[in-house]
Amino acid sequence: MFGFTPREIAILKTLNTPAKIQNFLNKIPTNFELKGLTVYSPRKVLQKKTAHCLEGALLAAAALRFQKHPPLVVDLTATDDDEDHVITVFKMNGHWGAISKSNHATLRYREPVYRTIRELVMTYFHEYYVAKTGKKTLRSYSQPVNLQRFDKRGWMTAEEDVWYIPEYLVEVPHTTILSRSQIARLRRADAVELRAGKVVEWEKRKKVNGAAKI
């Protein structure tokens, strides 16, 4: 099915709810790209057992297909001094929810209780800030992109990095969420929020003399 092996299908079929997909992603260590930038396909994520936000979003989208959901992702863009984020969105009982691979405590799963994509996206706004300065940086979002458009390129099971997906996401229209006057009046995250922002799920590791160190 979709080009996956029987073993891969067995894993993906166990992820039969959005919540189970999120739990699975949480157990996968964050890909800090210590050996260079990557865009792993869902198959490579299962093999490597690591993922950053986009790679997690692709795996979640592939897993949702086994539940008869379309593989939809939404691109969130930030200011130049912060990083963009990609979430996988799904609809249940007429409401949107999201699956999100994040190493931080806030930019994560969203229950399917939101009426519109904008309403869902705005739940990420206040906690989307630069850790050192508290500057709130979320600026725009795309409408859901159906990854079925890349089926002929084998995005779910590719052995090579699927760079064409983020390249496409950069080019799709995005909706701006703030006016200039709103940006000028933004309050920075305060000291308590900054402390909370330091909570991470996975510590970044680096190799020192061939051994992994935190």
pLDDT in tens, 30-79: 999 999 999 999 999 999 999 999 999 999 999 999 999 999 999 999 99
Considering the chain, what percentage of its residues have pLDDT values greater than 70?
Answer: 96
Q: What is the mean pLDDT of the chain?
A: 95
CATH code of the domain made up of 6-213 = 3.10.620
Given a cut of 60, whether residue 9 has pLDDT beyond it is yes
The domains of the chain are located at 6-213
Cβ–Cβ < 8 Å for 101, 85? no
pTM over 0.85: yes
Per-residue b or e along 151-181, where b marks 16 or more CB atoms closer than 10 Å to that residue's CB: eeeebbbbeebbeebbeebeeeebeebeeee
pLDDT in tens, 10-22: 999 999 999 999 9
